[in-house]
């Protein structure tokens, strides 16, 4: 009887050990699968890092190119400014033409603005917001086309699309 009890105890212990062993093996397989998934994800992230590194290099190269282009354009602008300053004022044009502003490609006659002409009133609205009255002349194109608020936000003329060097406020 003692022998049978011992055999039963040993059998239950072996059965318990085998069940525990199966559970441990199952957990090990799950963890190995997790490790494999983590390694795959790690490889994907490393590939992405390499790709981003290449893209960053390309963007840096593009930025250097743009900086060099800006420097060359600034130099050309300075040269043109110096040549323009050294040349005769007005290049033969009258001073009236040099100082005249234009709106939508037409010279403005400020005396006509005092009339209640609705067409002229429309011309005197800001070309960006279309609410405020125009008060800023853009240089070098000499277009009177923006209000003070919009002029500070734009770097180009909305009429001729040329780059704005400076905007000057006019009082009418």
Q: Per residue in 47-66, pLDDT tens?
A: 999 999 999 999 999 999 99
Q: Per residue in 95-144, pLDDT tens?
A: 444 444 455 445 555 444 444 556 667 778 899 998 998 999 998 888 88
Contact of 55 with 63, CB cutoff 8 Å: no
Instruction: Note the pLDDT of residue 13.
Output: 93
End-to-end CA distance of the chain: 122
Instruction: Note the pLDDT of residue 80.
Output: 82
Strands 166-169 and 143-146: unpaired
Question: Does the pLDDT of residue 38 top 90, yes or no?
Answer: yes
Domain ranges of the chain: 1-87, 95-169
Instruction: Note the pLDDT of residue 169.
Output: 87
Would residue 91 be called left, alpha or beta, if left means φ above 0 and alpha means ψ between -120 and 50 degrees?
left
Contact of 145 with 162, CB cutoff 8 Å: no
Percentage of residues in the chain having pLDDT higher than 70: 78
Strands 102-103 and 106-107: antiparallel
What lies within 8 Å, CB to CB, of 154 at 6+ separation is 128, 146, 164
Q: Which CATH superfamily is domain 95-169 in?
A: Zinc/RING finger domain, C3HC4 (zinc finger) (3.30.40.10)
Contact of 165 with 142, CB cutoff 8 Å: no
Contact of 137 with 95, CB cutoff 8 Å: no
The H or E element spanning position 55 is helix 2-86
The pTM score is 0.35
Q: Locate 125 and state its tokens.
A: 């609205």
């Amino acid at each position: 009887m003692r022998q049978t009890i011992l055999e039963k105890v040993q059998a239950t212990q072996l059965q318990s050990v085998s069940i525990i062993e199966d559970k441990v093996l199952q957990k090990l397989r799950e963890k190995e699968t997790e490790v494999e998934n983590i390694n795959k994800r790690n490889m994907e992230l490393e590939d992405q890092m390499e790709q981003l590194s290449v893209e960053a290099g390309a963007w840096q190269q593009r930025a250097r190119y743009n900086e060099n282009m800006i420097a060359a354009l600034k130099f050309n602008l300075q040269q043109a400014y110096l040549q323009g300053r050294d040349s005769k004022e007005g290049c033969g044009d009258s001073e009236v033409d040099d100082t005249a502003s234009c709106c939508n490609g037409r010279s403005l006659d400020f005396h006509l603005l005092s009339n209640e002409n609705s067409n002229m009133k429309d011309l005197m609205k800001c070309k960006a917001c279309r609410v405020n009255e125009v008060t800023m002349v853009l240089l070098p194109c000499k277009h009177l086309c923006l209000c003070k608020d919009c002029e500070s936000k734009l770097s180009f003329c909305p009429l001729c699309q040329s780059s704005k060097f400076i905007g000057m406020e006019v009082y009418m």
